[in-house]
Each structure stands twice: as structure tokens, then as C-alpha cells.
Amino acid sequence: MPERRAILAGAAMFVVAAVAPFVEARRILARELPPLRLEQDVPNEFGAWRVDSSIIAVLPSPDVQRQLDEVYSQQLSRTYVNSAGDRVMLVMAYGEDQVGKTTVAHLPDACYPAQGFTIEPRPPRPVPMGGRAPLSVSRLVATKPFRIEPITYWTVVGDRTFSSDYERRVARLTSALDGVIPDGMLVRISSIDANEKRAFAAQDEFAAALREALTASVRPRVFGRTA
């Protein structure tokens, strides 16, 4: 089944690339929305969490960073800590064009191995969102000598949230065929912690607190329309 989905995802990506140059976009969604400024829109402090500069998130190599700059309009990387001493690293990457440009190569599944990590997927478990629809996410554990990093991430295309890259690619294809250019975002939350159960629990709490801290105009672009 995973192999079949990978083949279908690849086919969907090929179709997107093939049709994009010939589809006249009728709407560029990012131009219809309030300006997004991640540095200002994401608070330095919310709930029990505040920015902590003592730990730096995994950064890509210079050549990968150049590719990221070509794909994404904005990027944000911060480390937060709570009163219990739990630390999480938040990385957000926003792109105004999710049809003509591909972000697949920069998902954690690909970028962590490129930096020498071994990754192991974990079963998906929706993140509770305080009485609202739970957030579907992907979970991984990335390891290399002297570092174990549990990871929670999701992507947004337009105002829809995806944990499956296959579904995300299909959404991009549908948008391309409809002549719509949606914006999109990759959100990654991770921790350096050998206890993955504790790490994922802290990440869940962080995600729920972050959702509450965002304004009504920014929230759907980070958590999707169900937020």
C-alpha cells in the first residue's frame, strides 16, 4: 500500500508539473488574504511557552538553504521553553505558490536524511485542539549519534491541512486544474529528547497553545480551516 501511494503521489506531481505552464491562473489566493508576516504574527511568548535561544533548530546546508529560499516566501525558526523546562523547536516555511513550485524535497522525511539522520515514522495520532477538530499530523523520530529528535509536522495548502503528502499533491493538482494558485505552509515542531512519549506530549501542548495564540486571520493559514 505505501508503495502504491508513492507511485500515485509521483504521478500526481508529474501531472502538476506538466499542466502548470498551460493553465491560466484565475486566482492567486495569497493576494486576496491579509499579508502574512511570520516574525510578527507568531508571538515570542504565549501560554506557558516563551522563546529560548539556548538551543538552535537543525539548519539546512547552504545549498539546501538556497533551494528553500527559491521555494518559500518566508521562513521562521525558533526554540521555545515552558515552565517545566520542556523545549520545542518550531520551524515554519510559507510559500505563496503551491502549484508552480514543489516543497516535497524539503519535508522532514527528506531533509533530515540529507543531514545524516536516520528517520523512523511513528503511527499518526491527531493532536487535540481544545474541543475543536483534532489536527492530523505526521510523526517521525530522527536519530544520529548523540541526538534523538522526535518530530511532529503538517502541511497546509490553501486552507486545508494535510498529514499525507499524497493528499497534499492531489490538492495541488486540483488547484492547478482549477486555475487557482493556493499558498501553503510547512509547520514542524521537534524536540531533542530520547523519551519520545514525553516529547510528543509536549509538542501536542505546544501546538494547541500556538493555535490559541494566533489571530483569527493567521490561524487558518497555519492550522487549516478547521482551526
Mean pLDDT computed over 114-128: 91
Rounded Cα gap, residues 22 and 87, in angstroms = 46
Rounded Cα gap, residues 93 and 75, in angstroms = 4
pLDDT reading at 176 higher than 90: no
**Grid-cell match 486555475, residue found:** 179
pLDDT reading at 110 higher than 90: no
Mean pLDDT of the chain: 81
pLDDT given at position 1: 46
Burial 87-111 (b: 16+ CB within 10 A, else e): bbbbbbbbbbbbbebebbebbbbeb
Q: Out of 5-19, 49-63, 95-109, 155-169, pick the least confident.
A: 5-19
What are the CA-CA distances from residue 9 to residues 4, 34, 147, 164, 178 (Å)? 9, 31, 31, 10, 19
pLDDT given at position 211: 95
pLDDT reading at 152 higher than 90: yes
Give the chain's largest Cα–Cα span.
Answer: 54
Question: Quick one: pLDDT band at residue 6, thresholds 50, 70, 90?
Answer: very low
Task: Compare 68 and 48 and report the one with higher pLDDT.
Answer: 48
pLDDT given at position 15: 47
- Distance of alpha carbon 211 from its chain centroid, rounded? 14
pLDDT reading at 217 higher than 50: yes
pLDDT given at position 39: 95
Asked if 189 and 206 touch (Cβ cutoff 8 Å), the reply is yes
> Do the bridges between strand 127-129 and strand 132-135 make them parallel or antiparallel, or are there none, so unpaired?
antiparallel
pLDDT given at position 114: 86
Rounded Cα gap, residues 167 and 125, in angstroms = 17
Q: Is 178 helix (H, G, I), strand (E, B) or coil?
A: helix
pTM of the model: 0.80
pLDDT given at position 224: 87
pLDDT > 90: percent of the chain? 44
What are the CA-CA distances from residue 82 to residues 7, 99, 208 (Å)? 42, 38, 14
Task: Compare 227 and 138 and report the one with higher pLDDT.
Answer: 138
